[in-house]
């Protein structure tokens, strides 16, 4: 993007010229398209593939238009006629007026043609995105947005194999997955840039979006609609994995919680069931059944906790349980003060819930 | 003694002229002291107050932006806690959109339109005064509550369930909703005043096809304000009533709908950004004409594209809502409309470039800002076209890509031309030229700082960084670009600081500006700098679209306006044929009192419903004063000789001239 | 401007967002009326959450989420006694409500002693008081985004609390 | 001093009727603002109607009679009253233009009475709607529309009151005859908007 006005600068001290050079370096540095596991420029599914093709097509055409317009502006600055500013303005010759009129009309026509191309291309890609694929063997997942975490529910024809998890979604590779999006409180926006664009979750409405991952891998998404204090830490992970690995994960999720083996884990379960945890969380197979907070039946099988903000290891779990307001101020989980041996037992138990 | 260079180079002043001018100064003078400050209805005084107040809010907005940039400079930064950050970014957006951009554009219109069309004052001076006070009270309301930890925290467009009664406790969003109503009342007052002046108070000979492009831009903007502002007043009234008296406009459980709010708000939202952008097109046309020493190329094309932008501006608000579950076909219609609006803007830029092609360019700071505008706005417009396509918008909506786009078109599209307008017209307002050297520093610091802040944000948006996040995780790969943006923000702030230094320096040491320092073509340059209270001693007759350049040798003028009363000429709408000698009301305290009554109604209205009853009584009392109280009605009726009744009989002298 | 400033000044306490729970007041409730000498008037305890709108809105959210509405309906009462009327069985002082939730009451009120953190109990007791209009109008919460069951707490007129029925043997001053 | 061609405007009048005067333009711009607001209100009415399968929604509380449709009595009375008042206001407008002070004085007083009666009728219309403003979205939007129109009825009556006081106590000069014509325009507009709103609120639930 050449936006430094070369000849204006030479009239000034090198202070300005240094600034302009600095600008050029930084601009070229920034256009390096980083990979990243949450980037629209690194598509891993058919939808984001089409969108990124549309993006590159538009970027190139727009850059050309920008360079042309800016080039013309710079050229007219270089070629400006000399003359003192205070004499009265002269009238242009009719002939040069006519030539300029032709150029302006041509430029406008070019703009219309380019916009037409953009319109047609974006309409085709748009239709492609929402084309109804045969989703027979596809997977349906219900995602409900809460204030600052995602509740994920895998519905199924036979009721016994329906299960709920949170913030981490496993999907089979190469299979179209339909998300049914509902919001329980305010507007959120479900967005995994590597796979597809975003779709708002609006209370009182159900919106659907379907996407498909071609390459196995981990794709991070984040809530894109401002939803309150912890909008910044409301992320989710999508694990795209081969079908059999997905089915195996699914079978494990359907089971109810692992019985505590060691007596420390038993003590931990005792602590869980008799303290404030039971008022909000559910662990299938135990008497804890409140669904205000995320379902913890298989919390240890998840890589992250707190809406994909903290890695799921022992000390992060301890700091989160002890005082979550330090990490995500304003979130709905109150701090819980436990005695040290109770805390260790509780952690043992939670980490046993594979 | 105010140096009086009048527009009568032909003959010096006779004895009678001197006496009449002294009489005019006495009649049009502003009452002294504090009382004068509240009651003065001179459009220039009110407009300068608007500009200064709006600029102060611009600085507040800038400080809030700096706070946000510091918080976002590093991942997991603890400079601002989330609650405070949400208040800062909401007040930043609200200040910039409602307290800075719209008022300062109407302010420049209120100052310059009467001078450019050759009128002695605006059509409704007291309404103008009322508009300013309502705006001032709205601004004070927002900032007093922001200081008291009651700043709104639901975003500058406050989407409903979050800003609704369930999820925004306390009075924060109520204060935002009432502040919106305040600023919209003042914008509507400004619009009615500008339209009244342009339609009815032009100098004879200035028919519609001879109107300067600046005045066309203000006219088009005012009509957009008339039809756009009611939408946001309704949206904020629905929100306030949902929060205070339990109506169910946006409660999905009782038949309401969250998307209704989005439709209502963005039906105003998009015309709002064009209301901010179109006056800037007027500034640029004036600056390009003067500094290219040449008449604008394609005058009719420019006027038609202004009008086309205004109409299209109302037809594309749904591109803010592509991610909501609206039907796909409807969205693609709005894609087409959003792309079409790029055509009129493109035509304007092509015409400016054609005007400057091969002209004797006089590179001064105003033109530098216009060139900066071309560079930045074209890039912003192109990213706008990208945002118009539905599939691409799904990826980049509500991300930092949109933050980059909106700042490119708003700062590039209207703040750069605004600074150009400051450099161009401050000599007329204050009588002092700003320094060119500081001007160039100001431009380059702002240009480079701006690009450093906002160009990396395109990249951040594509790499998945959503909008309005108070912090981000370290492993997202966004840290370095955010740091770069924060450094750029510092340079941008430096640029604005240089402008303030330049302004203060010029107040003392700047060159004394004569009537027409830039040899410009519009009528305001025929008056002294700063112009006298009564503007035109003898209203000139206009003979071409570039008034001063096309002035014939004997320079016809209008005589016969009384100098014992505040009289100005009312002319017909299309051909500006003189019709009436209109009597303008003098200084009056009633606008201020009406503003206080309105303030009482809306502010106390947050706390009790009785405020509306008290407000109604107060307002009616002020109307009685407004209607009966002003002194100059009495004497007019008493000693006025019976007037001839047919106003349409234009004096023959004029008809003969431009037959 | 003076009017503006004082009006809004009142509000700065209301808007506080209390994320970290403050040290909650140690409310000890007098269980028995029997005591030597005259009865010492019990100073009403101050519930810090009654001054912040955020505390009240959290109380309202918890009232539905912790299923208090299961027995008390939306304040109208079904299995549990109504909370919107002026009748108070165990006293309308914040400390009394706090101890009711903490220790439970005969005839079915469960004790939430270890099940709900203490500051949330204070928030719930603040909300219970707002159901009958004891809380200042500009702090009380607005309507919720659910069915319209009763006027929102900020529009309920304040009912003067009175003792529901007097336990036998205790003379009420 | 060389002679200058100049336009002598000293004999032009101070005020003129209709499009000559800035008052007329200011008045009509205000009406344009209010019209765009009412158009948006009507659009909201029909937008909210999509969310209901029964419009107006069935009455939940059975205390009131079962028919949820707003009953026509007061609304129609208001409509008829306002339509008649247009004729009267036309006469006041004519007398203002013909500078017959007596006609204007009497006419304005009667119009003031009509305005007051219209406001009273409107306060009954609110109860005819059968829903409170806080019962559901239907109640909210209907009360809001009726409230906004009542706001205009009140401003209309206040302006008539001011002009009545002026025409009885102060000189009947040209400026205030123009004001009366502007009032007439505002009056016709308020009546015209009420015809549209009447059909939206009372007729669409029955026939829409």
CB contact A289 to C (< 8 Å): no
Contact (CB<8Å) C65/A278: no
Q: Which residue in C17, C21, C116 is closest to A276 by CB distance?
A: C116
Nearest CA in chain D to B635: D171
Same domain, A304 and A331: yes
Phi and psi dihedrals of A37, rounded to 5? -90, 5
The verdict on residue A224 lying in a domain is yes
CB contact C165 to A (< 8 Å): no
The encoded tokens of residue C11 equal: 């509000």
Distance of alpha carbon B323 from alpha carbon A199, whole angstroms: 5
Nearest CA in chain B to A100: B354
The verdict on residue A119 lying in a domain is no
CA C65 vs CA A280, A342, B47, C68, C108: distances in Å: 9, 27, 54, 8, 19
Contact (CB<8Å) B165/C8: no
* pLDDT number for residue B103: 95
The encoded tokens of residue C168 equal: 């036998």
Q: Using DSSP bridges, classify how beta strands A168-172 and A177-183 pair: parallel, antiparallel or unpaired.
A: unpaired
CB contact A329 to C (< 8 Å): yes
Domain containing A151 equals 139-246
- C 111-140 → A contacts, CB under 8 A: 112, 114-117, 119-120
Kind and range of the H or E run holding D19: none
Same domain, A156 and A239: yes
Beta strands in chain D (DSSP E): 6-8
Residues 6+ apart with CB under 8 A from A315: none
pLDDT digits (tens, 9 = 90+) for A115-162: 999 999 998 988 888 776 555 567 899 999 999 999 999 998 888 889
Contact (CB<8Å) B159/A187: yes
pLDDT over 50 (residue C2): yes
Same domain, A237 and A155: yes
CA B223 vs CA A114, B196, B410: distances in Å: 31, 11, 20
Same domain, A233 and A151: yes
Contact (CB<8Å) D13/B231: no
The verdict on residue A2 lying in a domain is yes
Distance of alpha carbon B647 from alpha carbon B580, whole angstroms: 6
Q: Which residue in D12, D26, D37 is closest to B230 by CB distance?
A: D37
CB contact A199 to B (< 8 Å): yes
Q: Are B139 and B53 in contact (CB under 8 A)?
A: yes
CB contact A203 to B (< 8 Å): yes
CB contact D46 to B (< 8 Å): no
- B 533-592 → D contacts, CB under 8 A: 538, 541, 554-562, 569-570, 572-573, 578-583
The verdict on residue A321 lying in a domain is yes
Same domain, A150 and A236: yes
CB contact C71 to A (< 8 Å): no
- Give chain A positions within 8 Å (CB) of B357: 76, 100
* pLDDT number for residue A137: 63
The verdict on residue A214 lying in a domain is yes
- B 111-140 → D contacts, CB under 8 A: 123-124, 127
pLDDT over 80 (residue C7): no
DSSP characters for B221-235?
A: HHHHHHHHHHHHHHH
DSSP characters for B82-115?
A: HHHHHHHHHHHHHIIIIIIIHHHHHHHHHHHHHH
- Give chain D positions within 8 Å (CB) of B225: none
Q: What is the mean pLDDT of residues A250-272?
A: 91
Angstroms from A330 CA to nearest CA on chain C: 5
Contact (CB<8Å) B484/A91: no
Q: A touches which chains (3+ CB pairs under 8 A)?
A: B, C
Residue A335 maps to which CATH number? 2.60.40.420
- Give chain C positions within 8 Å (CB) of D139: none
CA A180 vs CA A140, A171, B193: distances in Å: 7, 14, 52
The verdict on residue A40 lying in a domain is no
Contact (CB<8Å) B247/D144: yes
Distance of alpha carbon C89 from alpha carbon C83, whole angstroms: 10
Percent of chain B with pLDDT strictly greater than 70: 94
CB contact B171 to C (< 8 Å): yes
The encoded tokens of residue B176 equal: 């935002």
Size of interface A-C (CB pairs under 8 A): 32
Tell me if residue A154 falls in helix, strand or coil: strand
Choosing among B249, B296, B391, which should be mutated to test the A contact, i.e. which has the most A CBs within 10 A?
Answer: B391
pLDDT digits (tens, 9 = 90+) for B550-586: 888 777 888 888 888 888 889 998 888 888 888 888 8
CA angle A301, A305, A311 (to 5 degrees): 85
> What region, left, alpha or beta, does residue C169 occupy, with left being phi > 0 and alpha being psi -120 to 50 degrees?
left
pLDDT over 60 (residue C26): no
The verdict on residue A72 lying in a domain is no
pLDDT digits (tens, 9 = 90+) for B37-72: 888 889 999 999 999 999 999 999 999 999 999 999
Average pLDDT over all residues of chain B: 88
CA C46 vs CA C49, C94, C130: distances in Å: 9, 7, 14
Same domain, A226 and A290: no
Q: What is the mean pLDDT of residues A242-262?
A: 91
* pLDDT number for residue D164: 92
CB contact B610 to C (< 8 Å): no
Residues D63-96 as b or e (16 or more Cβ within 10 Å = b) = eeeeebebeeebbeebbebbeebeebbebbbebb
Q: Are D42 and D196 in contact (CB under 8 A)?
A: yes
Q: The pTM is what?
A: 0.90
pLDDT over 80 (residue B352): yes
* pLDDT number for residue D152: 95
pLDDT digits (tens, 9 = 90+) for B290-331: 998 888 888 999 999 999 999 999 999 999 999 998 887 888
The 3-class secondary structure across chain C, one letter per residue, is CHHHHHHHHCCCCCCCCCCCCCCCCCCCCCCCCCCCCCCCCCCCCCCHHHCCHHHHHHHHHHHHHCCCHHHHCCCCCCCCCCCCCCEECCCCCHHHHHHHHHHCECCCECCCCCCCCHHHHHHHHHHHHHHCCCCCCCCCCCCCCCCCCCCCCCCCCCCCCEECCCCCCCCCC
Tell me which residues of chain D have a pLDDT lower than 50.
Answer: 1-2
Name the one residue in this structure whose structure tokens are 């600095």: A22
Distance of alpha carbon A36 from alpha carbon B474, whole angstroms: 12
User: How many residues are recorded in chain D?
Assistant: 208
pLDDT over 80 (residue B18): yes
Least confident range from A263-272, B279-288, C74-83: namely C74-83
Nearest CA in chain A to C20: A325
Name the one residue in this structure whose structure tokens are 């320092």: B517
CB contact C149 to B (< 8 Å): no
- A 278-337 → B contacts, CB under 8 A: 309, 329-330
CB contact B251 to C (< 8 Å): yes
CB contact B643 to D (< 8 Å): yes
pLDDT digits (tens, 9 = 90+) for B412-463: 999 999 999 999 999 999 999 999 999 999 999 999 999 999 999 999 999 9
Q: Are C152 and C142 in contact (CB under 8 A)?
A: yes
* pLDDT number for residue B659: 31
Name the one residue in this structure whose structure tokens are 């502003």: B30
The 3-class secondary structure across B262-312, one letter per residue, is HHHHHHHHHHHHHHHHHHHHHHHHHHHHHHCCCCCCCHHHHHHHHHHHHHH
Percent of chain B with pLDDT strictly greater than 90: 62
Nearest CA in chain D to C149: D135
* pLDDT number for residue A206: 92
Nearest CA in chain A to C55: A330
CA B469 vs CA A36, A225, B61, B146, B625: distances in Å: 19, 10, 18, 20, 51
Q: Are B11 and D1 in contact (CB under 8 A)?
A: yes
Same domain, A268 and A241: no
Least confident range from A272-286, B159-173, D10-24, D186-200: namely D10-24
Contact (CB<8Å) C115/A276: yes
The verdict on residue A8 lying in a domain is yes
pLDDT over 70 (residue A203): yes
CB contact A202 to B (< 8 Å): yes
Least confident range from B241-255, C54-68, C141-155: namely C141-155
* pLDDT number for residue B358: 80
Distance of alpha carbon A201 from alpha carbon A185, whole angstroms: 10
Choosing among A232, A237, A304, A307, which should be mutated to test the B contact, i.e. which has the most B CBs within 10 A?
Answer: A232
pLDDT over 60 (residue B195): yes
Least confident range from B276-280, B478-482, D204-208: namely D204-208
pLDDT band at B10 (very low <50, low <70, confident <90, very high): very low
Same domain, A229 and A306: no
Contact (CB<8Å) A36/B477: yes
Q: How many CB atoms lie within 10 A of CB B375?
A: 23
CB contact C155 to B (< 8 Å): yes
Q: How many CB atoms lie within 10 A of CB B26?
A: 11
Q: Which of A246, A273, A302 is a domain's end point? A: A246
Same domain, A235 and A324: no
- Give chain C positions within 8 Å (CB) of D136: 148
* pLDDT number for residue A86: 61
Distance of alpha carbon C102 from alpha carbon C114, whole angstroms: 8
Q: Are B573 and B588 in contact (CB under 8 A)?
A: no
Same domain, A221 and A270: no
Q: Is the peptide bond before C64 cis (omega within 30 degrees of 0)?
A: no
Angstroms from D135 CA to nearest CA on chain C: 6
Q: Which residue in A54, A85, A112 is closest to B362 by CB distance?
A: A85
Contact (CB<8Å) B242/C143: yes
Q: Say how many domains are in chain A.
A: 3
CB contact C9 to B (< 8 Å): yes
Distance of alpha carbon A126 from alpha carbon A47, whole angstroms: 9
Same domain, A145 and A236: yes
Query: Which ranges of A222-282 does DSSP label H, i.e. alpha helix?
Result: 243-254, 263-274, 277-280
The encoded tokens of residue B417 equal: 């031309």
Residues 6+ apart with CB under 8 A from A279: A290, A292, C66, C112, C115, C116
Distance of alpha carbon B480 from alpha carbon B465, whole angstroms: 13
Same domain, A220 and A282: no
Choosing among B329, B354, B547, which should be mutated to test the A contact, i.e. which has the most A CBs within 10 A?
Answer: B354
- Give chain A positions within 8 Å (CB) of C112: 279
Residues 6+ apart with CB under 8 A from D24: D17, D18, D178, D181, D182, D185
């Amino acid at each position: 993007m050449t936006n430094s006005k070369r000849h204006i600068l030479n009239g000034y001290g090198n202070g300005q010229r240094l600034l302009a050079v600095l600008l050029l370096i930084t601009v070229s540095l920034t256009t390096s398209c980083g990979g990243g596991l949450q980037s629209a420029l690194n598509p891993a599914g058919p939808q984001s593939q089409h969108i990124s093709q549309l993006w590159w097509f538009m970027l190139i055409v727009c850059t050309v238009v920008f360079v042309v317009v800016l080039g013309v502006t710079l050229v007219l600055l270089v070629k400006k006629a000399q003359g003192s500013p205070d004499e009265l303005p002269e009238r242009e010759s009719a002939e040069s007026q006519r030539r300029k009129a032709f150029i302006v009309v041509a430029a406008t026509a070019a703009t219309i043609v380019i916009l037409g191309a953009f319109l047609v291309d974006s309409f085709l890609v748009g239709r492609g995105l929402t084309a109804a694929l045969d989703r027979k063997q596809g997977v349906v997942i219900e995602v409900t947005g809460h204030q600052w975490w995602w509740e994920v529910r895998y519905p199924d024809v036979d009721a016994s194999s329906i299960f709920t998890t949170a913030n981490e979604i496993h999907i089979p590779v190469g299979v179209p997955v339909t998300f049914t999006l509902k919001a329980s409180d305010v507007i959120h926006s479900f967005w995994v840039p590597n796979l597809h664009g975003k779709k708002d979750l609006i209370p009182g409405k159900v919106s659907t979006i379907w996407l498909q991952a071609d390459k196995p891998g981990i794709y991070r998404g984040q809530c894109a609609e401002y939803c309150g204090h912890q909008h910044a830490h409301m992320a989710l992970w999508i694990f795209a994995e081969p079908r059999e690995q997905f089915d195996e994960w699914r079978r494990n999720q359907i089971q109810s919680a692992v019985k505590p083996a060691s007596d420390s884990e038993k003590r931990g379960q005792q602590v869980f069931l008799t303290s404030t945890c039971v008022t909000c969380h559910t662990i299938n197979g135990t008497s804890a059944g409140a669904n205000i907070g995320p379902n913890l039946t298989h919390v240890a099988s998840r890589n992250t906790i707190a809406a994909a903000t903290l890695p799921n290891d022992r000390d992060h779990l301890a700091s989160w349980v002890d005082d979550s307001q330090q990490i995500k101020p304003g979130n709905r989980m109150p701090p819980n003060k436990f005695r040290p041996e109770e805390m260790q037992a509780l952690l043992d138990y939670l980490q046993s819930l594979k | 003694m105010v140096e009086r260079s009048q527009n009568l180079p032909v003959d010096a002043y006779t004895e009678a002229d001197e006496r009449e001018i002294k009489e005019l100064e006495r009649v049009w003078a502003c009452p002294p002291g504090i009382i004068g400050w509240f009651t003065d209805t001179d459009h220039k005084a009110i407009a300068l107050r608007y500009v200064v107040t709006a600029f102060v809010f611009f600085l507040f907005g800038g400080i809030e932006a700096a706070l946000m940039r510091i918080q976002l400079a590093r991942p997991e930064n603890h400079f601002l806690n989330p609650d405070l950050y949400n208040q800062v970014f909401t007040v930043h957006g609200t200040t910039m959109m409602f307290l800075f951009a719209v008022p300062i554009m109407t302010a420049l219109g209120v100052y310059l339109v009467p001078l450019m069309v050759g009128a002695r004052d605006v059509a409704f001076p007291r309404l103008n005064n009322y508009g300013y006070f309502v705006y001032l009270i709205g601004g004070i309301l927002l900032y007093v509550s922001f200081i008291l930890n009651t700043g709104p925290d639901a975003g500058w467009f406050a989407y409903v369930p979050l800003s609704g009664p369930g999820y925004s406790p306390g009075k924060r969003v109520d204060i935002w909703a009432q502040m919106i109503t305040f600023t919209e009342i003042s914008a509507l007052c400004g619009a009615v005043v500008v339209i009244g002046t342009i339609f009815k108070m032009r100098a004879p000979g200035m028919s519609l096809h001879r109107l300067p492009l600046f005045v066309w831009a203000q006219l088009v903007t005012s009509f957009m304000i008339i039809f756009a502002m009611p939408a946001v007043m309704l949206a904020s009234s629905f929100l306030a009533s949902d929060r205070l008296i339990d109506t169910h406009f946006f409660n999905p459980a009782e038949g309401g709908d969250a998307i209704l709010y989005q439709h209502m708000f963005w039906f105003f939202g998009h015309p709002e950004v064009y209301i901010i952008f179109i006056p800037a097109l007027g500034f640029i046309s004036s600056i390009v004409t003067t500094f290219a020493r040449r008449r604008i190329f394609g005058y009719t094309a420019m006027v038609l594209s202004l009008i086309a932008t205004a109409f299209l501006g109302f037809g594309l608000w749904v591109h803010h809502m592509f991610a909501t579950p609206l039907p796909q076909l409807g969205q693609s219609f709005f894609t087409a409309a959003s792309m079409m609006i790029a055509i009129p803007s493109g035509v304007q830029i092509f015409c400016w470039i054609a005007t400057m092609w091969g002209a004797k360019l006089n590179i001064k700071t105003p033109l530098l800002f216009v060139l900066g505008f071309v560079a930045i706005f074209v890039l912003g417009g192109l990213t706008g076209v990208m945002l118009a396509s539905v599939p691409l918008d799904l990826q980049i909506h509500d991300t930092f890509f949109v933050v980059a786009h909106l700042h490119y078109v708003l700062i590039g599209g209207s703040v750069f031309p605004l600074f150009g307008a400051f450099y161009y017209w401050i000599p007329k307002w204050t009588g002092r030229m700003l320094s060119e050297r500081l001007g160039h520093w100001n431009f380059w610091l702002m240009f480079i700082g701006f690009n450093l802040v906002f160009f990396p944000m395109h990249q951040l948006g594509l790499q998945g960084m959503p909008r309005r996040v108070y912090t981000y995780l370290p492993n997202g790969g966004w840290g370095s670009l955010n740091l770069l943006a924060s450094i750029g923000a510092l340079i941008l702030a430096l640029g604005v600081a240089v402008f303030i230094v330049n302004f203060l320096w010029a107040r003392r040491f700047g060159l004394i500006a004569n009537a027409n320092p830039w040899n410009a073509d519009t009528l305001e340059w025929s008056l002294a700098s700063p112009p006298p209270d009564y503007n035109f001693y003898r209203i000139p007759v206009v003979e071409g679209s570039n008034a001063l350049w096309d002035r014939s040798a004997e320079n016809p003028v209008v005589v016969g306006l009384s100098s014992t009363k505040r009289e100005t000429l009312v002319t017909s709408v299309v051909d500006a044929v003189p019709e009436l000698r209109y009597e303008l009301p003098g200084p009056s305290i009633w606008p201020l009192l009406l503003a206080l009554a309105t303030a009482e109604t809306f502010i106390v209205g947050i706390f009790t419903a009785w405020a509306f009853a008290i407000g109604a009584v107060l307002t009616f009392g002020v109307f009685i004063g407004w209607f009966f109280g002003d002194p100059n009605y009495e004497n007019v009726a008493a000693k006025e000789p019976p007037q001839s009744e047919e106003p349409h009989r234009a004096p023959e002298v004029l008809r003969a001239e431009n037959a | 401007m003076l009017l503006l400033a004082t009006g809004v000044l009142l509000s700065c306490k209301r808007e506080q967002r209390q994320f970290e729970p403050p040290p909650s007041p140690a409310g000890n409730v007098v269980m028995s009326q029997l005591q030597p000498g005259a009865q010492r008037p019990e100073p009403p305890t101050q519930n810090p959450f009654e001054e912040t709108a955020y505390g009240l809105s959290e109380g309202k959210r918890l009232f539905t989420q912790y299923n208090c509405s299961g027995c008390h309906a939306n304040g109208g009462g079904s299995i549990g006694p109504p909370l919107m009327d002026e009748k108070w069985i165990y006293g309308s002082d914040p400390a009394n409500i706090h101890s009711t939730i903490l220790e439970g009451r005969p005839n079915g009120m469960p004790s939430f002693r270890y099940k709900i953190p203490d500051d949330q109990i204070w928030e719930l007791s603040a909300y219970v008081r707002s159901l009958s209009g004891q809380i200042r109008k500009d702090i009380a919460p607005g309507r919720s985004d659910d069915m319209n069951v009763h006027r929102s707490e900020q529009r309920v007129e304040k009912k003067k609390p009175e003792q529901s029925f007097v336990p036998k043997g205790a003379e009420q001053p | 001093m060389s002679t200058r061609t100049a336009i002598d405007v000293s004999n032009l009048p101070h005020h003129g009727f209709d499009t000559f005067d800035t008052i007329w333009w200011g008045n009509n711009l205000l009406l344009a603002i209010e019209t765009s607001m009412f158009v948006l209100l009507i659009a909201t009415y029909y937008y909210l109607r999509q969310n209901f399968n029964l419009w107006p929604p069935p009455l939940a509380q059975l205390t009131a009679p079962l028919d949820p449709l707003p009953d026509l009595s007061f609304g129609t009375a208001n409509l008829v009253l306002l339509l008649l008042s247009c004729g009267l206001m036309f006469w006041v407008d004519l007398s203002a233009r013909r500078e017959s002070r007596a006609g204007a004085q009497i006419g304005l007083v009667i119009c003031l009475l009509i305005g007051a009666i219209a406001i009273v009728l409107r306060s009954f219309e609110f109860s005819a709607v059968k829903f409170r403003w806080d019962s559901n979205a239907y109640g909210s939007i209907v009360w809001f529309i009726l409230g906004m129109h009542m706001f205009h009825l009140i401003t209309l009556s206040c302006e008539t009151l001011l002009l009545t006081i002026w025409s009885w106590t102060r000189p009947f000069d040209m400026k205030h005859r123009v004001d009366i014509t502007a009032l007439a325009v505002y009056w016709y507009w308020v009546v015209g908007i009420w015809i549209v709103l009447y059909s939206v609120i009372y007729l669409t639930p029955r026939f829409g």
